[in-house]
Structure 1
């Protein structure tokens, strides 16, 4: 499946109104609306909200118009995405898209409600979203390798992974771990990261997976501890936490998601270019980079065409995992 030279994704909660004008950009393309809406497919709080609000503020500082951050939660982000794809294609409505809606959901959902290739156009990648596996602070294991060894020595123990989204890279990753390491870790779905992490901290589920940014508050409160992070390198915000790949679990190398911006497919090219320039310029601000890095996010600005290629490549990497596990979502 050729995914994306038209792709976008988003994440921004709660109805935050941030004033901005687009004078500099308007001179280039001349058609940006004075009022824009950045849709987030999740409730207020968490990594998506953090990114959306931070970019909205930076755009204001850069001299853009009025940007409204609007939360449309539900269906693992698909309600917000479908709202945007059906919106007027004039650059006034954008979606902060989490990459699984482009790289995994087209493989795992029978009817996701959208076609990532034909319904959307990618504007820009904003940040990488390192993910991690965590456990309660009082649990007797300190890394993913320790957890697997503990589980094998305690066959009667409950081994479960809390996830906020079935069909996510965390879900697929743990199914691959089960297959490769002869484990039976059961994915348990929650309606969001917050209730899942509360159950992780209290031991209701043995481990949990989500974005590092969503986990930092409970980690800083010493309620949970990290067993390992996704990707191939440690995070500046958590230098002491080993990657899962370091510990012998390459199944999570590709579990670092990203947030990007997408717009309806028929949005004019010049409008897309103006939006791309605006978001890439905002990404250069040192204060924005520091703010997001402290939350466990990694700046990864890239043009729309690069976002499309990355999504296409990640889709290809997940396809064999989905085919082997046979996971299909309704």
Structure 2
């Protein structure tokens, strides 16, 4: 079993606040909020976003409306508009695991008008699993700011009788001969590699069924068209709370505060997936540093707003601001980890 390295696990960012650390982090948060309010980002108002700063800022999202990334983008956009003093609109460009949105970003003018909110899949994974994705992150994109890490989870539909992952394995073997399709939000994604690993680990014949984002996958799970799926915690959590889906296990090194009764795969004996995916904003290469600094500072202000933090944590995210340099380092470290995992899986880019 391949083991991921631990040097990439959030140490490259500002201290990330996990839900279980909220009480411990209150004094720090208040100090940071006070500092920001008092002018800890003194250049924020002085830095021009671009000519005509009241023009809209567009945030590209590579997945459909209704999914976890879309919900995060809309929450942040609503707050960023007030801090930036300009409209901020969300532009969904779903398809190919964020590849379409990434290509739109590459083609956009480097004037600060267009940003891309994305997670690890598009930036770190796609270039490893697609020979010609149409973009090269290091060449075509400029890291702007990171804001969260998250964990992936394994969930079953309400029509599945299993109440634990062990029960799921037994049910699948006794009722279906160990064969099943498992939904994933995108082809050749970390959830798809996890499906393959679970199949080998538990001697199951699991086939990953890729969707165009988490929203249609969850729609089929809710409709009991597919028995199980792998996606981010924020994709599943509200349906889990409503009893419509059941999250049976999560990745990462510790249980999630939003799902304290759900074990990690490490607890179940599946090691090597403790490294956490990340969320960040990117701009076209060549975007003026003044805009990047201004937007990063604005995002830092938004992230210490109590209602924003509470909502992001309730979605299953661990919140922490990353500077452009920290986001770039986080991306590079995560890419190195997954390059080893993907090579070890025997995957060959089509």
| 1:311 correspondence with 2:331 | yes
> Partner of 2:54 in structure 1?
34
Structure 2 counterpart of 1:299, from 303, 307, 319: 319
Q: Is the 8 A contact 1:130 1:230 kept in 2?
A: yes
Residue 122 (structure 1) shift = 0.5
| 1:54 correspondence with 2:81 | no
| 1:119 correspondence with 2:140 | yes
**1:166–1:115: structure 2 CA closer, same or farther, 3 Å change rule?**
same
Q: Within 5 Å, which residues of 2 pair with 1:128-277? A: 128-152=149-173, 156-201=177-222, 203-254=224-275, 256-277=276-297
Residue 157 (structure 1) shift = 4.1
1:246-278: CA deviations, max 9, x gaps?
Answer: 111224323x42221000111122221111111
Residue 308 (structure 1) shift = 1.0
Residues paired across the two proteins, number: 307
Q: Is the 8 A contact 1:97 1:260 kept in 2?
A: yes
Residue 322 (structure 1) shift = 1.3
Q: Give secondary structure in 2 for the equivalent of 1:118.
A: helix
1:56-112: CA deviations, max 9, x gaps?
Answer: 122234353121221222222111111112111121111101211121111111111
Task: Give the stretch that moved more between structures: 182-191 or 25-34.
Answer: 25-34
Task: Give the stretch that moved more between structures: 214-223 or 315-324.
Answer: 214-223
Residue 136 (structure 1) shift = 2.1
> Partner of 1:3 in structure 2?
none
TM-score normalized by the length of structure 1: 0.85
Q: Which runs of 5+ in 2 are unaligned?
A: 1-41
Q: Which runs of 5+ in 1 are unaligned?
A: 1-22
> Partner of 1:279 in structure 2?
299
Q: Give secondary structure in 1 for the equivalent of 2:44.
A: helix
Residue 240 (structure 1) shift = 1.2
Structure 1 counterpart of 2:127, from 93, 100, 106: 106
**1:147–1:66: structure 2 CA closer, same or farther, 3 Å change rule?**
same
Residue 241 (structure 1) shift = 1.1
Residues in 1 aligned to 2:190 and 2:243: alpha-carbon distance in whole angstroms: 26
**1:198–1:55: structure 2 CA closer, same or farther, 3 Å change rule?**
closer
TM-score normalized by the length of structure 2: 0.80
Q: Give secondary structure in 2 for the equivalent of 1:296.
A: coil
Residue 138 (structure 1) shift = 4.3
> Partner of 1:66 in structure 2?
87
Q: Is the 8 A contact 1:110 1:328 kept in 2?
A: no
Task: Give the stretch that moved more between structures: 259-268 or 68-77.
Answer: 68-77
1:158-182: CA deviations, max 9, x gaps?
Answer: 3321112011111112222334444
Q: Give secondary structure in 1 for the equivalent of 2:260.
A: coil
Structure 2 counterpart of 1:25, from 41, 44, 47: 44
Structure 1 counterpart of 2:101, from 74, 80, 85: 80
Q: Is the 8 A contact 2:94 2:213 kept in 1?
A: no
Residue 26 (structure 1) shift = 4.1
